[in-house]
Chains A and B, each alone.
Chain A
Amino acid sequence: MSIIYMLIPLGLVLVGIGLWAFFWAVGAGQFDDLDSPGWTVLSDDERPPASPARDEKEES
């Protein structure tokens, strides 16, 4: 059973690393906005954008 004298501290170190990583991510703003990054993949869709200027003329 003496192996747990090594495994427990090792586990604690891993928990520490996990927490540190989480703190870093929070501090870097990774959790500030959980919704819109999912949409950024759509921003890569390259579609020929119509010029808004043309629309303005059409309406007036």
Chain B
Amino acid sequence: MTPAGPACFHCGEPIPSGTVIRARLLGREESVCCHGCKAVAEFIAGAGLDDYYRYRDASAARADNAPRPDRWSAYDHPELVERLSRPEPDGARSITVLLEGLRCAACSWLADKALRQRDGLLDVSVNPATARARLVWDPTKVRLGDLLRVLERVGLRPHPLAGEPAEQFSILERRQALKRLAVAGFGMMQAMMFAVPLYIGESSGMEADIRELLRLVSMLISVPVALYAGWPFYVGAWRAVRARSISMDVPVSLGIALAFFASVYNALQGRGEVYFDSVTMFVFFLSLGRYVEMIARHRAGSVADALARLAPVTARRVRGGAVEDVQAIELAVGDEFLVRTGEVFAADGTVLEGDGRVDESMLTGESTAQTKDAGASVHAGTQNLGAPLRVRVAAVAGDTVLSGIVALLERAQAERPRLAKAADRAAAWFLGRILLGAAVVFAIWWFVDPSRAFSATLAVLVVTCPCALSLATPAAIAAATAELARRGVLVARSDALEALAKANHVLWDKTGTLTQGLIRVEEIRPLAQLGEDECLRLAVALERMSEHPIARAFLVSGRHDMTATDIDVVPGQGLEGTAGQRRFRIGSPGYAMGLKGTVATPSWLEGESWVCLGDASGLLAAFRLTDQLRPEAGECVARLARLGLPSEIASGDEEAAVGSIAERSGITRYAARLRPEAKLARLQELQAGGAVVIAVGDGINDAPLLRGADVAIAMGRGSALAHTSADLILIRDSLDELPDTVELARRTQRVVRQNLGWSIVYNLAALPLAAFGLVPPWLAAIGMSLSSVLVVLNAMRLSRTPRNASGRNWTLSHHAEAPLG
């Protein structure tokens, strides 16, 4: 079975060949990849919201196969909802909901419209920047559970956030930054307006009192710019100095402070030169760079968000034999709670009763579910796939294993290690040289002419003000970040671009990066007289009744026109049911043989991931399930190799599965069955050999790998936790942009080097002249400004790249606009 072919109308993923699922939308038909997408697309069109497809600029998230109404049943209980939500006037309630899959403004329009069709919804505001919606509803008319179901049906999975909304912090941070930026911008324009007449007056003559006025007014304008807009730089510099290190903030602050106070001194003295225009422009461009970086960081999502997606807000507590829905935070150590099939554990605990199978892939990376019976320990955030379990709470909230991982990530995020240090070392070096130079100049003038020593030293410091030097890197990175954002690559940490340009090795986690992270039926081998299609039909009929992830593979592959009855699920083995008066079993080879009464299975079924269908006469068919290779993976690997980046796979999956993917994507080096620690060890081994490694991952189990890599890249549809530890996020969930991004990072580095080169040449040329007192002050100021402008303009070249429209994007827009049938 070859992947590729047309893309799904709803989610944009390639439709596996052989799959024919058509969604009926207002008289026309569109091809979709699975029944989940079909349901969502038909619901959207049926509700009169199909304008969404015309206006969206990012394809939607792949729909979960079957919206399961019972997932939200806990939110139908008024008492629980009352505790989760906040009171509003007139008896209304409000809650903040995180929406997974909210990609663009069209998605928020969709959520808004779909919700407003419900009676009893009083107000809804959706913010695509933070992926949150605030719902206000009348509890007497509509239940919260119903609103959440509507959101799920349009393909946006809601995660209600208990208590006060956490996004307040990022909104306040953003507002504060905007205000500072505005002050710097207004100040810059005004200061320049007054600088021009001063420059002209310098050469053509100007009345002394007007000159005095202009200088004092410029000073007045620059005070808020230097003190208010520049404040974050001083704070950062002070923090660095206190920690006995030097960050980029230190030379920046020193530059601003020196130029500003020298100018104030001169303005008040009425002689010498003022540099207010340079100071304000410098602050403005630096603030702009920081602002762009902050927006990207906010979009990348916070760790708190990730946690909200993973751990459920509610739990089913057992007390005195009765089961009640409570908030997860109300659970205490020693409590008992019930976790039904398909539900996620709200706390760490010990199994008391039940025979469950738990998907722990988010913690360990193992794709096969673990069997858990009485006495086994389970962890918050993992999912129960088997029979219902009764669990005694062992750890809650901050003490769970999940919280431990999250805390670790949060710390790593705050510390910003790696290449930031290299950039700061360079800054420290420049700073040291400049201060040394100034000291030498002062000493020499002290012997030659003490009265001019101070002014000459000031001239040296101001002329060599590391403006252009400090702008060189941020300006280029801001331009590259903006350009990448247009292409759907989110740069969450700007220093990653530098590392990306130097990278010479790529380490892939297989699942979800090279592959689509979606198990599909790869091969059907009929073993009796029944044909492929008939076997698949029977398999679908049986698997429809299952919650297991493997069931998805069948559901997306076959038709749903038969229903099995009398289902009997054997956790860890498979399931049995009646279809068309015959009894069938589907599951592991040994289990499927069970109806015949023997357990001897053909030897070729060992080792690989085969699922078998059997009846009383023996095995009917074997299905090989694999995760599909992304269609663009091979080309991506080849292009990266041409750029000098050999690829290697480090996967937690089975040897055979990894080998097959490696072969088909053209990768020769791979390692299978690696635990997260082993992946990290392999990474460190590469790094010890001098390699600068890009790690591409999507799962929570990849978080350590991503954190240790020089550049961490996460897929747009990967787990939220992977996003928080990533430097770059491929929003469009396609590998197409990866080689382009590497190229752009290298171009960015070239621009940075040009900028640095120019600034250094300028400074080296100006320094001796200034030291000898030969540079007319106005020329020094103009030269300083021009060199900064030149640096900024050079950086802007990065954002004027002709975009290679990739074939896949074209297909998407084509699908979104032209009806097929």
- Contact of A33 with B175 in the complex, beta carbons under 8 Å: no
Q: Looking at the assembled complex, report how far the CB atom of A18 sits from the nearest CB atom of chain B, in whole angstroms.
A: 7
A55–B153 alpha-carbon span in the complex (Å): 11
- Contact of A43 with B47 in the complex, beta carbons under 8 Å: no
A4–B194 alpha-carbon span in the complex (Å): 12
Q: Binary interface profile of B, 124-147, with partner A (CB < 8 Å = 1, else 0)? A: 001111000000000000000000
B171 within 8 Å of A by Cβ? Answer: yes
- Contact of B171 with A38 in the complex, beta carbons under 8 Å: no
Q: Looking at the assembled complex, report how far the CB atom of B545 sits from the nearest CB atom of chain A, in whole angstroms.
A: 15
- Contact of A31 with B175 in the complex, beta carbons under 8 Å: yes
Q: Looking at the assembled complex, report how far the CB atom of A14 sits from the nearest CB atom of chain B, in whole angstroms.
A: 10
A side interface size, CB within 8 A = 34
The interface centre, meaning the residue of B105, B129, B150, B153 with most chain A CB atoms within 10 A of its CB, is: B105
- Contact of B217 with A50 in the complex, beta carbons under 8 Å: no
Contact residues of B between 64 and 123, Cβ < 8 Å to A: 104-106, 108-109, 112-114, 116-118
A-B contact count (CB 8 A): 93
- Contact of B175 with A32 in the complex, beta carbons under 8 Å: yes
- Contact of A52 with B175 in the complex, beta carbons under 8 Å: no
**Known contacts A12-B217, A42-B51; is A33 also within 8 Å of B186 by CB?**
no
- Contact of B113 with A43 in the complex, beta carbons under 8 Å: yes
Nearest-neighbor residue (CB-CB) of A31 within chain B: B178
- Contact of B47 with A52 in the complex, beta carbons under 8 Å: yes
A8–B211 alpha-carbon span in the complex (Å): 13
A49 contact set on B, CB distance < 8 A: 47-48, 117
Nearest-neighbor residue (CB-CB) of A50 within chain B: B46
The interface centre, meaning the residue of A35, A36, A51 with most chain B CB atoms within 10 A of its CB, is: A36
A35–B42 alpha-carbon span in the complex (Å): 26
Q: Looking at the assembled complex, report how far the CB atom of B103 sits from the nearest CB atom of chain A, in whole angstroms.
A: 11
- Contact of B178 with A26 in the complex, beta carbons under 8 Å: yes
- Contact of B112 with A11 in the complex, beta carbons under 8 Å: no
B side interface size, CB within 8 A = 41
B750 within 8 Å of A by Cβ? Answer: no
Partner of A39, one of B55, B153, B217: B55
- Contact of B109 with A26 in the complex, beta carbons under 8 Å: no
- Contact of B106 with A39 in the complex, beta carbons under 8 Å: yes
B292 within 8 Å of A by Cβ? Answer: no
B174 within 8 Å of A by Cβ? Answer: yes
Q: Binary interface profile of A, 1-35, with partner B (CB < 8 Å = 1, else 0)? A: 10011001001100100110011001101011111
- Contact of B126 with A36 in the complex, beta carbons under 8 Å: yes
A15–B185 alpha-carbon span in the complex (Å): 11
Contact residues of B between 475 and 514, Cβ < 8 Å to A: none
Q: Binary interface profile of B, 168-183, with partner A (CB < 8 Å = 1, else 0)? A: 0001001100110011
Partner of A12, one of B126, B150, B220: B220
- Contact of A52 with B43 in the complex, beta carbons under 8 Å: yes
B39 contact set on A, CB distance < 8 A: 59
A18 contact set on B, CB distance < 8 A: 186
A51–B116 alpha-carbon span in the complex (Å): 12
Partner of B174, one of A8, A32, A52, A55: A32
- Contact of B129 with A32 in the complex, beta carbons under 8 Å: yes
- Contact of A36 with B43 in the complex, beta carbons under 8 Å: no
B190 within 8 Å of A by Cβ? Answer: yes
Partner of B117, one of A15, A40, A42, A52: A52
Q: Looking at the assembled complex, report how far the CB atom of A33 sits from the nearest CB atom of chain B, in whole angstroms.
A: 5
- Contact of B190 with A15 in the complex, beta carbons under 8 Å: yes
Nearest-neighbor residue (CB-CB) of A41 within chain B: B109
B106 contact set on A, CB distance < 8 A: 39
B128 contact set on A, CB distance < 8 A: 33, 35-36
B220 contact set on A, CB distance < 8 A: 12
The interface centre, meaning the residue of A11, A29, A52 with most chain B CB atoms within 10 A of its CB, is: A52
**Known contacts A8-B217, A43-B112, A52-B150; is A23 also within 8 Å of B179 by CB?**
yes
- Contact of B48 with A22 in the complex, beta carbons under 8 Å: no
B207 within 8 Å of A by Cβ? Answer: yes
**Known contacts A1-B207, A11-B190, A43-B112; is A36 also within 8 Å of B213 by CB?**
no
- Contact of B182 with A38 in the complex, beta carbons under 8 Å: no
Partner of B171, one of A11, A32, A40, A42: A32
A4 contact set on B, CB distance < 8 A: 210, 213
Q: Looking at the assembled complex, report how far the CB atom of B482 sits from the nearest CB atom of chain A, in whole angstroms.
A: 15
B221 within 8 Å of A by Cβ? Answer: yes
Nearest-neighbor residue (CB-CB) of A59 within chain B: B39
A1–B197 alpha-carbon span in the complex (Å): 13
Nearest-neighbor residue (CB-CB) of A8 within chain B: B217
Partner of B210, one of A1, A11, A22, A43: A1
A40–B190 alpha-carbon span in the complex (Å): 36
- Contact of A35 with B129 in the complex, beta carbons under 8 Å: yes
**Known contacts A15-B186, A19-B186; is A35 also within 8 Å of B105 by CB?**
yes
Q: Looking at the assembled complex, report how far the CB atom of B436 sits from the nearest CB atom of chain A, in whole angstroms.
A: 40
A18–B187 alpha-carbon span in the complex (Å): 12
B207 contact set on A, CB distance < 8 A: 1
A29–B178 alpha-carbon span in the complex (Å): 11
A55–B49 alpha-carbon span in the complex (Å): 14
Q: Looking at the assembled complex, report how far the CB atom of A26 sits from the nearest CB atom of chain B, in whole angstroms.
A: 5
Nearest-neighbor residue (CB-CB) of B216 within chain A: A8
Q: Binary interface profile of B, 31-48, with partner A (CB < 8 Å = 1, else 0)? A: 000000001001100111
- Contact of B221 with A12 in the complex, beta carbons under 8 Å: yes
21 interchain pairs, CB-CB under 8 A: A1-B210, A8-B217, A22-B182, A23-B182, A26-B178, A31-B178, A32-B127, A34-B129, A35-B129, A36-B108, A36-B126, A36-B127, A38-B105, A42-B109, A43-B109, A48-B48, A49-B48, A51-B117, A52-B114, A52-B150, A52-B153
Q: Which residues of A contact B (CB under 8 A)?
A: 1, 4-5, 8, 11-12, 15, 18-19, 22-23, 26-27, 29, 31-36, 38-40, 42-43, 45, 47-52, 55, 59
Q: Which residues of B contact A (CB under 8 A)?
A: 39, 42-43, 46-48, 51, 55, 104-106, 108-109, 112-114, 116-118, 126-129, 150, 153, 171, 174-175, 178-179, 182-183, 186, 190, 207, 210, 213-214, 217, 220-221
